[in-house]
Structure 1
Amino acid sequence: MSPTTTSSISSDWPCQVKAPGSPDWERTAARWLRDLLPARYAGYSTLTRHPILLARHAQLQIQHEIRAVRVALQTCRAELPTLGVAETIIEGTIRLYAVELEQLDRLARAVRLITEALLAGSQPQRRRSRV
């Protein structure tokens, strides 16, 4: 079995992205990564033409989203009552943030896997310098 078969791919690998090494896999990776970013980024050709840049920006975007959700989760019990939000709504909001953190953690793992695969497939072997 070749290393690019589906059975060798991590369960964190997004199903929308073909296996590394398969025909057109980088295009499917780029499309998936683009979908993680705000729509306005689709107009930046530097990002859309270079999947590794797209992957890097997606990593940064998700890291910031994780931080934002953690802050929202940590502060909602103190801040939401002052805004007149009912306790039942606050509890639902806490559950929503917890689910979102799990989803963002999965996305972060998937982006890391794609980044690693892009790097493995695009970087030439570096020559060791002689000492």
Structure 2
Amino acid sequence: MPLTATITRSPDWPLQVKAPGTHDWERSATRWLRDLLPARYGSYLTLTRHHALLARHVQLQLQHEMRAVRVALQTSRAELPVLGLGEAAIENTIRMYAVELEQLGRLARGARLVSDALLVGTPAQRRR
């Protein structure tokens, strides 16, 4: 099975990104990747002009977000009561962090798939 068919059939392939090889798929991929970054990054033209750089930065951003959510999750029971939060709020916060960690994991897997698809055929990919 070709790489394109394999990655787009993955449950982690983002629905907002067209299948590689279809009309305007790279534009949909870069738009989706750009949307994963904080808005302030939209003004950096070097990110939007270079797919590989954008994909790399998105992956780094998601890794850092996941790390931050893990820390927040691991420290919730010890630190949130000090802030005056009750048990119900703490439990809801822990559930929120767990859901967010799952979502970030899905986004990271999707970003990796999109990144790999964008890099197919580039000199760096051919050297592998």
Determine which structure has greater relative contact order: mean sequence separation of CA pairs < 8 Å that are 6+ residues apart, divided by chain length.
2
Q: 1:2 Cα deviation (Å)? A: 7.2
The SS at the match of 2:120 is: helix
Matched, 1:26 2:26: yes
Unpaired stretches in structure 2, ≥5 consecutive residues: none
Q: Provide the identity percentage.
A: 69
Give the match for residue 119 of structure 2: 119
- Aligned mates of 2:49, 2:117 — CA distance in 1: 17
What is the rounded CA distance, in whole Å, between the counterparts of 1:116 and 1:74 in structure 2?
Answer: 32
Paired residues of 1:69 and 1:100 also in contact (CA < 8 A): yes
Which runs of structure 2 are paired with 1:21-100 in the superposition (5 Å)?
A: 21-100=21-100
For residues 71-91 of structure 1, the C-alpha deviation after alignment (integer angstroms, 9 at most, x for no partner) is 000001000001111110000
Alignment RMSD (CA, Å): 2.0
Larger Rg: 1
- How has the CA–CA distance of structure 1 residues 99 and 48 changed in structure 2, closer, same or farther, with 3 Å as cutoff? same
When residues 90 and 20 of structure 1 are mapped into structure 2, their CA distance, relative to the original with a 3 A threshold, is same
- Between Structure 1 and Structure 2, the one with more helix by share is 2
1:5 Cα offset (Å): 5.3
Secondary structure of 1:121 counterpart: coil
Unmatched 5+ stretches in structure 1: 127-131
Q: Check conservation: 1:13, 1:113, Cα contact below 8 A.
A: yes
